[in-house]
Structure 1
Amino acid sequence: MPPCRTWPPPGRGAIVGIGSVNGAQDFGNHAYSAAEAGLGSLTRTLAGHAAARGVRVNLVVPGTVRTTAWEGRDAEPEAVRALYPLGRVGEPEDVAAAVAFLASRDAAWITGASLYVDGGITAIDTGFRAAVVPDT
């Protein structure tokens, strides 16, 4: 195939879905969590079907993100912020940067992946760690 002057080449591209950490762990709301878990499966199976056409399919999996849903609440409730190993909730820009990366040529060999953009909440259970090993 000759080199392309534009990316993606015609007939090729990237699909980037947006999920939630609720699909990976129990954060409440069982029906929502089941739907979010389904997005992970859809991403993987669709990636397998779309790959032959040169289309990559990936999923961004954010934790709590400060959106308009926060209006009328404290800007960042201490109880929520403290659960995140990085010490804050996400910003829309955090998620947007992950989407831009997965849609870019820099991610040209990534498909069927779930990229967790969650401040570490699915990797590190800070509440459990604090209960078991105080002063951490």
Structure 2
Amino acid sequence: MKKTIWVLVSLLTLLSYHSVVSGQETTRKNYAYFSLEPEIVTNYLGSSARKLGFVRVSIELMLEDAEFLEAAEHHSPLLRAATIEAFGSQPAEKVKSLTGREDIRRNCLEKLRELMLRETGSEMIKDVIFTKYLYFQS
């Protein structure tokens, strides 16, 4: 008898867990990706006045929902300009280091969210992803 009750309780627990999990699947976000095309090539602050540094970056924006794709495309010149401005104010040490690169990425994410909130009323950008990141200094 105890074994039968334990099996029934286990079965009921499993069924309730399945309904909770399947309920979460219906509320899952429909993320979309938007590429800032063409890739960004801009300068950054070199280590000295005589040295000029350049960075070449491909950027993908992870949007909260696919419905934001049209707004992202419409505002892409503004998004590109903000990203170029963010890179242009970075020192060479930050551009060249892995931790600096992550700081730049977070800074871009914050700025782009602020811009989209101001322009559309929604932050809409979940994340910023650098898919290509090359830097060089002359």
TM superposition score category, shorter chain reference: under 0.3
More helix by share: 2
Q: What is the TM-score when the length of structure 1 is the normalising length?
A: 0.28
What is the TM-score normalised by the length of structure 2? 0.28
Structure richer in strand, relative to its length: 2
Q: Is the radius of gyration larger for structure 1 or structure 2?
A: 2
